[in-house]
Amino acid sequence: MARPEHARRVKSYSASTGYVYQYYFLETQKSRRGLHAGTDYVYMVAVDRGAAFPLRVFIRHDAVRKWGRKTGRELSGTEEYAAAKMRLFQAFDEVEDLAAARPDLIVDDDNLESLLAQLDL
């Protein structure tokens, strides 16, 4: 069955690369990257009002579990979404030609804690 369409809240982000991105959250998908299970947070992104393209942020479940053991509490769904969004913003600021590069954006042990620290978590 097709997913019902509804109005999307398009947001803008002025990146340090000089580009202005328009984006909106599309969906989550349980997925795997290699041997790692996780969740893809899919955003539709346009650069300087150009054509939109999907950009995925993969959050590894093992990184989320490790963070939970370290802090003594689980990461909520809202907090996991926030980590994905912070990784998206990081890509906006660091990748010169995001539309052409379409990088593999991953949240793992190496960056989860620093992404959450930006949110005071």
79-116 pLDDT, tens per residue? 999 999 999 999 999 998 888 889 999 999 999 999 99
Cβ contact 105:91 at 8 Å: yes
CB atoms within 10 A of CB 84: 24
List pLDDT tens digits, range 25-77: 999 999 999 999 999 999 999 998 889 999 999 999 999 999 999 999 999 99
Written as six digits, the tokens of 64 are: 């989320």
- pLDDT of 2 higher than 70: no
